[in-house]
Structure 1
Amino acid sequence: MKHLRILTAGIALACASPALANDDLVEKMSDPTQWAIQTGDYKNQRFSELDQINKENVGDLQVAWTFSTGVLRGHEGSPLVIGDMMYVHTPFPNIVYALDLANEGKIVWRYEPKQDPDVIAVMCCDTVYRGVAYADGKIFLHQADTTVVALDAMSGEVVWEQVNGDPSKGETNTATVLPVNDKVLVGISGGEFGVRGHVTAYDIETGEQVWRAYSMGPDEDILMDPQNTTHLGEPVGENSGTNTWEGDQWMIGGGTTWGWYAVDTDENLVYYGTGNPSTWNPSQRPGDNRWSMTIMARDIDTGMAKWVYQMTPHDEWDYDGVNEMILTEQEIDGEERKLLTHFDRNGIAYTMDRVSGELLVAEKYDPAVNWTTGVDMDPESDTYGRPEVVAQYSTEQNGEDVNSTGICPAALGTKDQQPAAYSPETQLFYVPTNHVCMDYEPFRVAYTAGQPYVGATLAMYPAPDSHGGMGNFIAWDNINGEIKWSIPEQFSVWSGALATAGDIVFYGTLEGYLKAIDAETGDELYRFKTPSGIIGNVMTYESDGKQYVGILSGIGGWAGIGLAAGLTNPNDGLGAVGGYAALSDYTALGGQLTVFALPD
């Protein structure tokens, strides 16, 4: 009955509105037997109504089948399942496979783009890719070289393609795209190369550009109406994207958009976050550096911003704000509200009204976070909504560089892009986290197009005075702003979580374990070690009446860049090589999809 109700609701939604190119995606997202979008649904909840696998029997899971991708780099994202077809992607060179689930996983087609391998040198933190998207009978691939390709979902033939950026300037891609209404929304990577971030909408049918919204710059570039776009309830005012930058520094200002998107179809709004300002040396870019490190709420059709919220003004630590926004309807202070919850790299979990942009909750989701005492929550204060910085952990004093030690979290944040999950049954969020601190040494750096524009040397290590590991998997109450339970892990949890109606939560570990956890208690119910470390996102689907759980394994990403790229200098990988050196004692390179099911 659960399945019937959800499917009926999805069809009703599609029929109630004018026909749009993504109507069949809306219907497929509402069918729990499929996995039609990387985030599970437009709300980014990563929750499945499937309950054949549950906390009573999950301990009996077995490997049902496996598939080698043929690529040995970091495997992020997950496969999609549309009908009887599964679509599997790889990191660079971004191969796409279509597998027939009704015919023993036979490869129906493969798409192998021909990309210039020079793009690898300008990819910040491994050659990862977070997965393809589906809509309107097409598979959408955003290649590392920023070419956006629409493929026929049944044949693999190219329908259209567009170039979204210029790798010679450091513009690359690691993120998935979002089909919504009659558009495909596409971001850009390259904040460590002085790229100015933007989100672009392309027409689903033709690939023609509809709008582009930059993260910073003149009002017409960032698509902001000075009087009708708000920040914490107040109009942003004219030139908000330039007047907190020195001179024309905004032109190489970062704020790239390599994270996830969420959609409220009723409000016709898309939500996403922007990344770090360039350079990492804060003394070279005085001011708040708007609108880097910002949650954006934009109209899907026009791109115009309705509201924004800058989480880390004048970032000094590389706390990109690109992590996913998770949309819920919950009661807070006795009132049912449409909420947005965001676990930021800066270590603070935010709960906001997603219609108005009102800030409701802002609390640390790792006790180790020390760079700030917290966010000023007094609406009457001049510093309302700003984090209160602890001077000891600042990397700039009076416009001068400062070498700071013991900063928590490290630059990779209390959580990076690895997405959390939400269960409407427990009303808890299940969050993969990093429990890592750093030493930070800024230095002066000059901008040259296509060359690194970082300006900092980092060293990373486990948070002191704790469990000795580098990660936790937590359950979070977004209304009260508190951890309900926490599972310590030896390494950061770099895998996206999945919650299900079977009262279980799945996640993967950097050593390569797929784990199943009791959603209420956090008790471990199952573990299986896959061939390589897991930085992919767990997904589930049903085929021929049977539920399956799938996960990509293949060590890499920022945490695993040492293994993925064969690096040994502890300062390489922006400090991650030294911090995660022990990973090589537990796992090796790989590229495999592992699919689990209960025995017949």
Structure 2
Amino acid sequence: MKPFLAAFFVLMNLMPAPAPAAEPEGEWHMAARDYGNTRFSPLSEITPANLPKLSLAFTFSTGVLRGHEAAPVVADNTMFIVTPYPNLVYALDLTKPGAPQKWKFDPKPAASSQGVACCDVVNRGVVYADGKVFFNTLDMNTIALDAKTGKELWRTKLGSIEKGETMTMAPIVVKGKVLVGNSGGELGVRGWLTALDAATGKIAWRAWSTGPDKDVLIGPAFKPFYAQDRGKDLGTRSWPGDGWKIGGGTVWGFLTYDPETDLVYYGTGNPGPWNPEQRPGDNKWTSGIFARKPDTGEAVWYYQWSPHDLHDYDGVNENVLVEIPVQGKQRKVILHPDRNGYLYVLDRASGQVLSATPYAAITTSTRVDLQTGRLVYNPEKDPTAGKTVRDICPASSGAKDWQPSSWSPRTKLLYLPMQNICQDAQTFETSYISGTPYVGASIEQYPGPGGHRGEFAAWDPVARKKIWSIRENFPVWSGVLATAGDVVFYGTMDGWFKGLDAKSGKLLWQYKAGSGIIGQPVSYRGPDGKQYIAVLAGIGGWAGTIVSGEIDPRDGTGANGMVNLTRDLPKYTAKGGMLYVFALP
């Protein structure tokens, strides 16, 4: 086919868009490493046989003492890391001993943004593309830097902290566009995903998570699989009055792109307020997943994990692209471990739920109806004003929260960082005041069945079961790294960084960091040809804010009930902000 004809057919959507160029196998350009959100490194030097010899290569102090949730990014022999507020960006020279600092960029975000951050002042990472580094600041700016010099190239303000908006998510770059979303669902914020031109920072499109179809970018191409998601302006009609204007649905999780379908997949956050009696209806398009065309933002399909979300389960957890047999036939699917406790397998072209299997203790629902796609709630656990509802499992923090899983194409297993938490909840009527909490619930979280608070598990999505699992004292709030050497890594809130045999789950190596680990581990090949493992330590986030935010442990409802669960955490770890990098001798 002649080049000009190929270009014409791509524009006419008569053939799939060309796949993006693959990054070098030894680099790590975005938080998830790849568009499919696998967090799998093809490097294989480190194996179960030599893993016990892994040792510290170098460290770097960030100088910031809040929750470090970011993934280090590696490109062109340089490592880029971003801190929690004040969102400092560092470039480290990997060609020199100890990886000294090449440059540092201080975006100087507004200090008042800290006061409206829901769950610590975290940042989940930068993205490298075409010689630029892109990242978000807590005070609602997306910034592009020259990767070699750290010079600011452009800065675009996307929202208002006065309304309670913040930004904590890691952007991705797709087809020349930087995709970013907002946080603030607990402050009556209206959620959105926005695409910026990577060259100029100008807004290309914005897709709202609530509101009329024109705002949500729903048009003729929108063909959801299930009947309840079809109809005009459901983003307003499934809300009482103008509730959609302050209804949440923020976009603060990880984004996925599939070049074959030319679709971006992402989850939307909880509806506001938490008190569900104030918002009767399904509350579209919150607590679900959208599939959109990256060129225009046009919605292609949507599925709602938790209609009329009763327990703040959100829908922002990662969507992992894999190809597996389903009923004997190879299918290209999305794996999604939701906070509501179900591991979903979706057809990535249509949004059909192929399976939805409990992977944790669940009392809030009984099943997912595969005919209708609807989650079937347990009415005994429905929040009711003036009543304390007990033994809500999973808790609002979910069977797992934002902390991303990892997929190994070698073992065909999804590695899940989990929590085992239940809660008691009271709901009450609340009023909206711009820039202040809009929740209407008081909760206290506590350990679930068995008494442990965390778990790390290997899940087989074909057999739909756990292959092995490890109990942890605290919630496993870090991301996961899987490698071609058949090793998996994760961190614990009390500061242990662990390496396991990916097939058996046997613990083969661990290192005690100076602070709890809630960051995302990565792997890269250094200029010397060796494989390195890197992770940021620094306790914080929702689960660790009792330490990073110095919350009084006597108030069990602090940090939306998390303090009751983690009162003892200050005995096990302290504040920190340190990069740890490991290699074989």
Superposition TM-score tier, normalisation by shorter sequence: over 0.9
1:484 aligned onto 2:467: yes
Question: CA separation in 2, counterparts of 1:453 and 1:169?
Answer: 11
| Cα offset, 1:226, TM superposition | 6.0
Note closer, same or farther for the CA distance 1:349–1:98 as it changes in structure 2 (3 Å cut): same
Question: Whole-Å Cα distance in 2 between the matches of residues 270 and 88 of structure 1?
Answer: 25
CA distance in 1 between partners of 2:78 and 2:20 (Å): 17
Cα distance in 2 between the residues matched to 1:462 and 1:226: 47
Higher deviation after alignment, 273-282 or 30-39: 30-39
Q: Is the contact between residue 226 and residue 236 of structure 1 (CA under 8 Å) also seen in structure 2?
A: no
| Structure 1 position 469, deviation (Å) | 1.1
Q: What runs of 5+ residues in structure 1 fail to find an aligned partner?
A: 1-15
1:93 aligns with 2:77: no
Percent identical residues? 47
In structure 1, the residue matched to 2:558 is: 572
Task: Tell me the distance in 1 between the aligned counterparts of 2:574 and 2:362.
Answer: 31
One-letter code aligned to 1:193:
L
Counterpart of 2:535, as a letter, is I
Residues 136 and 469 of structure 1: CA distance in aligned 2, closer, same or farther (over 3 Å): same
One-letter amino acid matched to 2:299: A
Aligned partner (choices 1, 4, 27) of residue 34 of structure 1? 27
1:217–1:250 CA contact under 8 A, matched in 2: yes
Q: Which runs of 5+ in 2 are unaligned?
A: 1-8, 12-16
C-alpha displacement of 1:388: 1.5
Conservation of the 8 A alpha-carbon contact between 1:228 and 1:235: no
Structure-2 residue corresponding to 1:552? 536
1:141 Cα deviation after fit: 1.4
What letter is aligned with 1:418? Answer: Q
Secondary structure at the counterpart of residue 236 of structure 2:
coil
Which residue matches 1:596?
582
Q: For 1:558, what is the secondary structure of its paired residue?
A: helix
State how 1:83-482 maps to structure 2 within 5 Å: 83-104=76-97, 105-225=99-219, 228-232=222-226, 236-366=230-360, 368-377=361-370, 379=371, 384-396=372-384, 402-464=387-449, 466=450, 468-482=451-465
Contact 2:143 2:152 in 1 (8 A): yes
Distance in structure 2 (CA, Å) of the matches to 1:44 and 1:141: 18
Contact 1:232–1:359 (Cα < 8 Å) also in 2: no
Query: AA paired with 2:398?
Result: G
1:403 shift after superposition: 2.1
State the distance in 2 between where 1:390 and 1:369 align.
10
* TM-score normalised to structure 1 length: 0.93
Determine the C-alpha separation between the residues in 1 that align with 2:299 and 2:501.
Answer: 40
Q: How far apart are 1:30 and its partner, in Å? A: 3.3
TM-score relative to the length of structure 2: 0.95
Instruction: Tell me which residue corresponds to 2:545.
Output: 561
**How far does the alpha carbon of each residue in 1:410-432 deviate from its partner, in whole angstroms, 9 at most, with x for none?**
11111111000000111110000
For 2:113 and 2:471, the matched residues in 1 are separated by: 37
Three-state SS of the structure 1 residue aligned to 2:373 is coil
Q: CA 1:57 to 1:204, structure 2 compared with 1: closer, same or farther past 3 Å? A: same
Match of 2:63 among 57, 67, 70: 70
Partner residue, 1:493: 476
Partner of 2:49: 56
- The two structures, once aligned, show a CA RMSD in angstroms of 1.7
What is the distance in 1 between the residues matched to 2:229 and 2:392?
A: 34
Task: Give the corresponding residue for 1:585.
Answer: 571
- Pick one of 483, 491, 499 that aligns with 1:508: 491
User: 1:43·1:262 contact (CA, 8 Å) conserved in 2?
Assistant: yes
Answer whether contact 1:144 1:173 (CA < 8 A) is retained.
Answer: yes
Please say if 1:541 is aligned against 2:529.
no
Q: Quick one: distance in 1 between partners of 2:327 and 2:373?
A: 19
Rounded Cα–Cα distance in structure 2 between residues aligned with 1:538 and 1:443: 40
Shift of 1:345: 0.9
With 575-584 and 531-540 compared, the bigger mean Cα shift is at 575-584
SS of 2:119's equivalent in the other structure is coil
Q: For residues 335 and 462 of structure 1, do their structure 2 counterparts lie closer, same or farther at Cα, with a shift above 3 Å needed?
A: same
